[in-house]
Amino acid sequence: MAQKIYLVVVGGIFVASALFALIDPHTLGAAMGIAAADPSGVTEIRATYGGLVAGIGLLLISGVWSRRLALAGLACAVFGVGALALTRLVVEVFDGNPGISANQGLATIFELVVLALGVFFLRRMLRE
């Protein structure tokens, strides 16, 4: 049951943030410290923060009804979101403080929680 809650909550957060990126990419970019220099940059923000993140969110949510999709979603959360969090932490060494903004700091904390819980649920699924 806890795994299903994880899949729905994390997937829902991903879908909601993706919709925000699709609807208002400029505000999302400003909140994360990035800006689109031209229309192709806006497309890039929408595609990455909107389309890709929505796809991951929908994969996670679909795992509620399918064991295979749950396994795929958990693996995506562990490797994809884990890579985001770990990259943010590593580049902080290179970029220095304040290389990570307050919003990015909150995102990193969220990603680390998603990673830790994802590892727990993925390991449990692989043992079943």
Q: Where are the domains of the chain?
A: 2-127
Note whether 75 and 115 are within 8 A (CB). Answer: no
Which of 47, 41, 28 lies closest to 104 in space, CA to CA? Answer: 28
Q: Is 96 left (phi over 0), alpha (psi -120 to 50) or beta?
A: left
The number of helix segments (H) and strand segments (E) in the chain equals 7, 0
Output the CA torsion 25→48→55→125 (10° steps).
Answer: -120
pTM over 0.85: yes
Per-residue model confidence as pLDDT tens digits over 72-121: 999 999 999 999 999 888 887 787 766 667 777 788 899 999 999 999 99
pLDDT for residue 93: 79
Give SS3 for 124: helix
